[in-house]
């Protein structure tokens, strides 16, 4: 395995913005390069680690704190953790950042209309019809990061461009050697 520093790369954004797609592409490149990584996907975490939590603000915050706790454990043990979670509230994202320390925030940004067009699960349609209550971006707020290390505009850039930005940020922060991005293409 390549020598590596632990870091949590936290992908935040609306449902359908492209968090999982970018996370998977970054993960594939890191694995090919021999890095030890772990993906913590918000949907899978809700099925397994935080099953009893609902979608109130308190439950959403608790969900993010639990993902943050697992991320902190992995990060301090030298793992590159890729978190893909809507994590709509700025304050709890900042709280998790402070606890983990080695943290890179990636704002996966796409306009609401674009996210709705990409909605393969039909969640936005259900939220707009009232079937789903407390849906981020429709009936619940999303607070975009004020100063993310990376902003991926998935409505304006290619997947490769988004992935390159993530690698550039990891290199700039000293988590990856500078040749990592060159090998991502």
Residue positions forming the annotated binding site for ATP: 13-20
Nearest to 95 by CA among 138, 127, 126, 60: 60
139 is catalytic: no
What token pair was written down for 164?
């390159």
* Tokens encoding 37: 């990584």
**Of 73, 74, 146, nearest in space to 105 by CA:** 146
Q: Which residues are annotated as a binding site?
A: 13-20
Q: Considering 56, 71, 84, 87, which one is annotated as catalytic?
A: 87
Retrieve residue 61's tokens: 């915050």
**Catalytic sites, residue numbers:** 87
């Amino acid at each position: 395995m390549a020598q590596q520093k632990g870091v949590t790369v936290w992908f935040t954004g609306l449902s359908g913005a492209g968090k999982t797609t970018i996370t998977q592409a970054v993960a594939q490149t890191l694995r090919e390069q021999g890095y030890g990584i772990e993906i913590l996907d918000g949907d899978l975490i809700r099925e397994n680690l935080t099953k009893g939590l609902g979608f109130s603000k308190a439950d959403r915050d608790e969900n993010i704190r639990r993902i943050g706790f697992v991320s902190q454990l992995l990060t301090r043990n030298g793992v590159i953790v890729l978190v893909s979670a809507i994590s709509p509230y700025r304050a709890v994202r900042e709280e998790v950042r402070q606890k983990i320390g080695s943290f890179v925030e990636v704002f996966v940004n796409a306009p609401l209309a674009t996210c709705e067009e990409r909605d393969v699960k039909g969640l936005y349609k259900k939220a707009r019809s009232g079937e789903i209550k407390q849906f981020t971006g429709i009936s619940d707020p999303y607070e975009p990061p004020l100063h993310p290390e990376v902003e991926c505009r998935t409505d304006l850039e290619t997947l490769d461009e988004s992935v390159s930005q993530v690698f550039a940020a990891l290199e700039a922060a000293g988590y990856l050697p500078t040749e990592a991005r060159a090998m991502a293409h």
